[in-house]
Every structure is written in C-alpha cells, then in structure tokens.
Chain A
Amino acid sequence: MLNYHYDWSVVLHSLPALLRGLLYSLEIAFVTLGCAFALGLVVALCRMSTFRPLSVAAYVYIQVFRALSLYVYILWVYFGLGIAFDINLSPLQAAIVSLTFLYSAYTAEIFRAAIGAVDVGQREAGTALGLGVVGIFVSIAFPQAIRIAIPALVNSLVDIVKDSAIVAIIGAGDLMYTTIQLSNYYVRSFEFYTVTAGIYLVVILLLTRIATTVERIFPVRAA
C-alpha cells in the first residue's frame, strides 16, 4: 500500500491540544523530579547509615523499585490501591506517586555515589573545625555532592519525561494520551505518532542541552 495520502493538516489543527498535553507531561516530570530528589536523598542517607536495619531497608527499597517497570507499578497503584485501601488517586496523582517511588531509587543511588565521591579530607576538616555530623553534611558534603550529582540527575529527568508517556494508560491527560485520543478520532495514527515522537525528541534534546549548560555553570571544582 504505497498510495497512502498523508494528511498533516489534522495534526496541525490539533497542535494546541498536543502542546497542552506536553505541558501536562512536563508538569508531571518536574514535580516527580522534585519529589524524587527529596525522597532519594532520604533513602541515600538511610542507605549510608551505620545503623544496619536502616541501611538494609534502604537497600531492599532500592532493589525493589529499580526492578519494577512503571507500567506494572502504576496499574497496581492506580487500580489496586483504590480497591484494597480506598486510596483513590487521580490519574495525575497516581502518575506522580508511581514515578516518584520508582525514580527515588535511582536518585538515591546517584546521591550515594555523589556523597561518597566527596573527598574524605573535607569531612575530616569539618570535624577538625568542630562541626557536628549535620553541620558537616549541610555545609560541606552536600554542596559538593550536588555538583557531582547534577549530570546524573538531569539524565534522570530525561528518563522521567520519556517514561511519563506510559501514564497515558490510566487516562492522565498527558501528551501521549492526547495523541492516542486524537489519532483514534482522525484515524491518522502515522501522522500523530510521528509528530508526537518529534515533540518528545525536541524536548529531550533541549533538556540534554540544558544539562550541559548547567554542568558548565556549576563545575566540579578540582581539589
């Protein structure tokens, strides 16, 4: 079948709807990154704790959430928790909650590596200056670790944006959901999926570009 007549005009007319979907996707991604940042930091600190039960629990948490796929997990969160515990999340909430738990496992590993990469001498100098454990972490280890972590964190953001397409299956109004609806309505699957793939591609290339710029603004200072 090579006499297919392309009709890109329907996609052009739908562009505002697609861009609204994109905004929704980005909202999910940025809120998720913020939540996964906080949760991941907590998990990383638990993982690095000298209190063994805490570090084992954090280890299990990381292993479990790194082994799950978003699709499997979001079905359980959205449909399963609602029935069993009456926790009825909206599609947006379910999307953010699922993505946050999954990606906090990745951000936790990023933070752990970054905190571990901070020179031991820095911490010793903090102790010598009379700073407590909290003081050393807040004013010495964390500011340096965050610089080391930035490239990996932005990579996570890129993964979150890409993975967030899956939230369409629970009916969240993101870019992918909008695309599926419109492509079914106009019966123009090739045109719609091509344009949506293009939109994702542009967004992800932009994010990667921003990542390189951020790395340049916050360089890891050589010791």
Chain B
Amino acid sequence: MPIRLDYIFEWGPTLDQWRALLAGAGVDLLVGVLGFAFAAILGLFIASMRLSSSKLFRVPAGIYVQVMRGIPLYVFLLWIFFGLATVAGVRFTPFQAMVIALAFTGSAYTAEIFRGGIQSVAPGQREAAKSLGLNAISTFRDVVLPQALRIAVPPLGNTLIGLVKGATIMSVIGEPDMVFVASDINTTYFTPFEAFAAVALLLIVMILILSTVVTLIERLLRLP
C-alpha cells in the first residue's frame, strides 16, 4: 500500500472554528462531570447496599454492579435513547440520555470503589467511635466516610476521566459536542485529518489537565 505524501494540509477551516470546537469540548466536559456526579451519589448508595448485613440488599446490589459493568456504554446509550422511548414513551434529550447512561455505567465502578474504601478503614476506628458513644450514623459520617473518601479519591479520579472520555460518543445521538463540530467541519470542507486531529488534541489536553487536577486534590487531602 503506497503511502501518499503530497497531501496539502488545510488547517484553516478547522482553526477558524476554534470557538465552536472549544464550546463542544465544554459540552463533553460538562456531560462527563455531571454523569460522574450522579454516578458518585448512586455508587455510594449501591455500596452501602452491598455492605448491608441483609441479603435482601446485598444480592440485588451485587447483580446491579455485575450487569452495569457488563454492558458497553454505546449499547446502553442507544437502549436508553431509542429503546426506552419506544417502549415507555419517555423521550430524553440527547444530553439527558448521555448523562443518564454515564451515571448508571459509572455507578457500578464508583460503588466498588466506595465499597473498597469503606472496607479498608480499620475496624478499630469503628470500635473506637462506638466506645466514644457515637451512634451508627455519626460513626459512618464522621469517622468512616472521611477516611474512606481519602482512599477512594485516586480511583474516583480515574472513573471521572473514563466518563469524560466516554462522553465523547454523544454525537452518535446528535448532541453537538466537539466531535459533532469536527464532523461538521469535515462534511463542509472535507478535511477529516485536520478536523479529527484537532478533536483528538483537545481531548488529550482536557484529560491531561483533569488528571493533574485529580493529583492536586489527592495531595491536598493527604494527611500530614
């Protein structure tokens, strides 16, 4: 396969659209962060179910985690956006559908992270809280959770990054994110190399900044 090397790069049309591309990147970031926020809340809930002493909570939560980790995001997204619309008549906007898909798939991961975090808090801490006369809620909120969160931050950061990357598929259901803008530039000027390279670069920069932020948070939370 001969590789052609006389292609004349046309960066103009892509660079002219930098505002639209940046705005699109903002949509990816927003959807990813929103999805993560919901995934964290849902995950904490699932994790407490998994740690429950009753099988009635533990088993469904375990199945939930297995199922949500076994379905590709793309399949789940189309199931929510197209499938649920035809069956239940619930019509989500592409934005909502993407946030929901990320929240549910993400929650399976955050649930396991929280579970691991909570379990790795030494039992002596809980016993000490009890002997100090703290009740169950206060023990969890004031003693266990602050320690568990610290352990959970690095893997939670990885999940956030994974969800922001996952959010980039939202243009398949028509949400105008940065990939959508690049596809637009491509169909107008026929410059797929430049347009998609710009998006790839934006994504790399965005993720590198995010991972730096996560590292900074880790350092802030580190105990002396």
Contact = CB atoms under 8 A, between A and B. Distances in A.
Do A and B come from the same complex? yes
Interface residues of A, number: 50
B79 A194 contact: yes
A205 B82 contact: no
B41 interface: no
A120 interface: no
A204 interface: yes
Contacts of A176: 72, 74-75
Contacts of A80: 192-197
A166 interface: yes
Interface stretch (A31-39, A60-68, A141-149): A60-68
Nearest to A169: B172
Contacts of B98: none
A190 B89 CA distance: 11
Interface stretch (B43-51, B126-134, B200-208, B215-223): B200-208
A54 interface: no
A84 B72 contact: no
A197 B84 CA distance: 14
Interface residues of B, number: 52
A122 interface: no
Nearest to A4: B87
Given A69-B168, A72-B179, A189-B83, A83 B74 contact: no
Given A83-B191, A189-B85, A192-B83, 9 more contacts: A68-B165, A71-B172, A71-B179, A72-B179, A82-B192, A86-B1, A87-B1, A176-B72, A190-B87
25 contacts: A67-B208, A67-B211, A69-B168, A71-B168, A72-B199, A72-B200, A73-B200, A75-B196, A76-B192, A76-B200, A79-B193, A80-B192, A81-B193, A86-B3, A86-B4, A86-B7, A88-B1, A165-B75, A166-B169, A176-B72, A189-B86, A196-B75, A200-B71, A200-B72, A204-B70
